[in-house]
Amino acid sequence: MIILTGVSGFIGSCLLTHLNQSGFNREIVVVDDFYKLYKDKNTDNKAVREWMHRDIFLDWFEKTTQKVDLVLHIGARTDTTLMDTDIFDQLNVNYSKRIWTACARKEIPMIYASSAATYGDGNLGFDDNHENIHLLKPLNPYGDSKQQFDLWALDQDEKPPFWVGCKFFNVYGPNEYHKGRMASVIFHTYHQIRNTSSMKLFKSHRPDYADGHQSRDFIYVKDILDIITFFIQHQSTASGIYNFGTGVARSFLDLARNTFAAMNIPENISYIDTPIDIRDTYQYFTEANMSKLRDAGYTKPFYSLEDGVQEYVKDYLMKDKYF
């Protein structure tokens, strides 16, 4: 039996579909806040063993004698603009600690969602070497909560028999319709172009970056699913925290141009000021060092930005389709 938390969210719901396609159907217990009805389409027509609300899951998991083969802890509060640290402490730190502790006690492998937000402004690079993680300084409470748990996990004497912390970089793809402001830039670009036949990008507020040349390591969600599958299938790999990116930073200008091309609409790009509430915590560059994952044996090529945007726009956004 597999436990999957955060199943109604973007990555969690895609992972459930991927597991179903891989033959895992009635063997999955899924966990989330199922009162959030606007996420229902993410999990429509998907096969699970049991739906469990997150408020009762921990007590059940700590007490159950049922055999659990793997925990995929993808659930988290991911709003990078939220400043309420109590919510992040509750959902991202303490909740995760209880899952980890139960996995360690019961000897259950665990894969959990970390974040590239832990890297902060990137001055220390984007290397997932454990020796550097304690030096990182996230720029917001969300990133700080992920950093707190990563550090706590590394410091534990009792660990699950196999564990992976997934430092997700800028993930995009189907099933993020519910995310609002926190949806990917590609999602927002598509809708802005569809509604206005134009795209407004943020101006640069740093002299070393031209407008539109702020860059991210954009990774298509199907690459995320393939990496997670690799770790599920290769639990002899070294446990630890791994980057989940492509290793190639691309500019927002590249992203916008590829979205216009996928929609077959002439480019019309202009620039606006970065909102004040995120300006001081805005990352201008992210690029994952992927050597650790490659050294672990993952050899599959990643989607290029061109191919990922083409598929996402044409096969999902333009058809209002879910994965």
Q: Which residues are catalytic?
A: 142, 179
The tokens describing 258, both together, are: 């590829």
Q: Is 298 exposed, middle or buried (0-12, 13-18, 19+ CB in 10 A)?
A: middle
Distance CA 14, CA 178 (A): 13
Contacts of 146 (CB under 8 A, 6+ apart): 76, 92, 113, 114, 115, 117, 118, 138
Angle at the Cα of 202 from the Cα atoms of 198 and 203, rounded to 5 degrees = 115
Distance CA 88, CA 117 (A): 14
